[in-house]
Amino acid sequence: MRTKPDHNDPSIRNPEVRRRKPELDSKPERQIIMGMVVSKVFLEKIIQICSLDLFQVSFGRRVAQWCLDHYEKYHEAPGRTIEDIYLKESKTIPEEDTALIEEFLGGLSGEYEQQKEEFDRVGFNLDEAKTYFRLSAQKNLQDSLQKSSISERPEEGEKAIEKCRSTIARINAQADDHFGSPINLDDLQAMKIPTRPVIIDPIILQQSLTMIVAERGIGKTFLALSLGLAACSGGMVGPWKCKNPMSVLYVDGEMNAEEMRNRISSLINGNFSKPTRPFGLYSNDLLYLDNRKPPINLAKQTYRDHIYALLDKRTDIGLVILDNIAALIPGIDENSKQDWDPINQWLISLRILGLAVVLLHHAGKSGKQRGTSGREDNMDLILNLERPSGYKPEDGCRFVTEIVKGRSILGDDVKSQEFRFVRVDEKKTLITVAPPGEELGRLIITALGKGYSPQDISENLGCTPANVTYHKRQAQKKDYLTRDGKFTSKGLRLYDHVKLDF
């Protein structure tokens, strides 16, 4: 039970010694104290800019002092130990502070790790702390000048002004260090900057941002899965070869779990050796199967922070694939750059962390990516997928690639390629790749190897007899066909699975 106040207490009778009531919003102060409790990284930064008189709330000054004492002794933030410190010191704490400290610790209970991850990424929280401490220093100056005026001691006011200047200068000096400074050209030329490893040559480098754009049903997921499997197995996807195998995180917002498993298995069986690095799948469907957990929503800061923290710990992961914007980032206005900005900043933070990110997105009616053009600004590579001329639904997954933006991709590397994902059986999908226009030659060689006459081939494929003769000779030179026009073992392996519509 709380005791009634003693009206003989001088702090009740004399307003000059009454406990100071803060006029500043105390919420930022609570956030600062929380960071000091849970994060060594944050605490070390705060030590450089704060003094206890900048805490306007008495319980805050007390908890801050505990944090500073604990760090001085153990070189760590107190974390859960703060509860033991409180119990040890509780008999010496005024009753009104006791209630506030218990409320504060109750809000922290069970969330130390989550709060630690947030405050370890110092930037935003430290900027908030600096702003608060500058305002607090000005508040202290205001109080000191008022007292100096009442006591008619101007020298005290002058000392307070100098102290405020010194305090703010100290905060600003640390702020300059936090934001860094420009580097001159000579130093830039002399600086040792590590060369970024190539993951998938030449299209995906470490710390690159890639966007794959296509209308629905073209083959974005097939291609993205293939890139991911190549990255973790050291394999190839058409002309693109993995140079440095990396662990992969594939974040899927759309695919059924069974279909996803079947696609991955059939691609591995048809094209890749067993992965030598982990391939992790984080998907909405799997989350639902796991006790009906809510779907991923990267429009929310909590989900972005969760994935960032996971990737920060898993330093072996080098490639992240996000499939796709519509499914993983619901609720934003796709035409609004302002809505996209928080996602963009998060993608940049992943790049700074050392990750390559591949982002899948739907094309609009124009064939280009749907929504704000601001989404393209920070991309290193934009790869459009379109159906080739003469495409028929029975062709299945077949598309032509076009690099519409490619930093440092030049010459033959920019050339388009025609991909075809051929389902041989329930357990195997083959990837075939050729420059656009070579599909006709592939069909001619297939028909010859399967015993069709040049006349039948010419009539059914709408080509000239000269075309058939040319591709037959080329196939024989490459040992795909024998002299009498039958498949060799090499030709059988490459062409026997190709379906003909005649």
For residue range 475-499, what is the model confidence (pLDDT) as tens digits?
A: 999 999 999 999 999 999 888 888 7
Helix (H, G, I), strand (E, B) or coil at 293: coil
CA 84 and chain centroid, separation: 37
Classify domain 439-495 at the CATH topology level. Answer: Arc Repressor Mutant, subunit A (1.10.10)
pLDDT of 14 > 60? The answer is: no
**Does this model's pTM top 0.85?**
no
Summarised one tens digit per residue, pLDDT across range 194-242 is 899 999 999 999 999 999 999 999 999 999 999 999 999 999 998 899 9
Write down the domain spans for the chain.
Answer: 18-179, 198-381, 439-495
Q: Beta 317-323 vs 356-362: how paired, if at all?
A: parallel
Percent of the chain with pLDDT over 90: 48
pLDDT range class, residue 303, cuts 50, 70, 90: very high
CA 189 and chain centroid, separation: 30
Instruction: Annotate 379-425 with DSSP letters as a single string.
Output: -SEEEEEEPPTT--GGG-EEEEEEEEEETT--GGGGS--EEEEEEEE
First CA to last CA across the chain, in angstroms? 93
Please state whether 339 falls in left (phi above 0), alpha (psi between -120 and 50) or beta.
alpha
pLDDT of residue 222: 97
Average pLDDT (46-51) is: 86
Average pLDDT (435-454) is: 84
CA 366 and chain centroid, separation: 28
**288 and 295 Cβ atoms separated by less than 8 Å:** yes
**What are the C-alpha distances in Å from 461 to residues 420, 433, 452, 467?**
19, 20, 12, 10
Distance CA 67, CA 441 (A): 74
Lowest mean pLDDT among 82-91, 367-376, 423-432: 423-432
Question: Is the bond preceding residue 202 a cis peptide, omega within 30 degrees?
Answer: yes
Of 250, 249, 254, which is closest to residue 217 (Cα–Cα)?
254
Summarised one tens digit per residue, pLDDT across range 97-117 is 888 888 888 777 655 666 666
pLDDT of residue 394: 84
**What are the C-alpha distances in Å from 502 to residues 5, 28, 215, 469, 480?**
99, 74, 29, 19, 21
DSSP designation for 172:
H
pLDDT of 8 > 50? The answer is: no
pLDDT of residue 426: 82
Summarised one tens digit per residue, pLDDT across range 169-206 is 888 776 555 556 788 899 899 988 889 999 999 999 99
pLDDT of residue 20: 44
pLDDT range class, residue 95, cuts 50, 70, 90: confident
Residue 189, both tokens: 């030329």
pLDDT of residue 308: 93
Percent of the chain with pLDDT over 70: 89
Mean model confidence pLDDT for the chain: 86
Candidate CATH numbers 3.90.1150.10, 3.30.365.10, 3.40.50.300, 3.40.47.10; the one for domain 198-381: 3.40.50.300
pLDDT range class, residue 154, cuts 50, 70, 90: confident
pLDDT range class, residue 23, cuts 50, 70, 90: low
Average pLDDT (34-40) is: 88
Lowest mean pLDDT among 19-23, 257-261, 310-314, 367-371: 19-23
pLDDT of residue 501: 75
Average pLDDT (387-402) is: 86
User: DSSP 3-state helix, strand, coil percentages of the chain (rounded to 5)?
Assistant: 50, 15, 30
CATH number for the region 18-179 comes to: 1.10.860
Of 411, 405, 400, which is closest to residue 434 (Cα–Cα)?
400
Work out whether the CA dihedral 412, 413, 414, 416 comes out positive or negative. Answer: positive
**342 and 333 Cβ atoms separated by less than 8 Å:** no
Average pLDDT (258-262) is: 96
Amino acid at the residue 413:
D
pLDDT of residue 363: 95
pLDDT of 284 > 90? The answer is: yes
Average pLDDT (404-430) is: 87
Name the strand (E) or helix (H) holding 205.
strand 204-205
Helix (H, G, I), strand (E, B) or coil at 228: helix
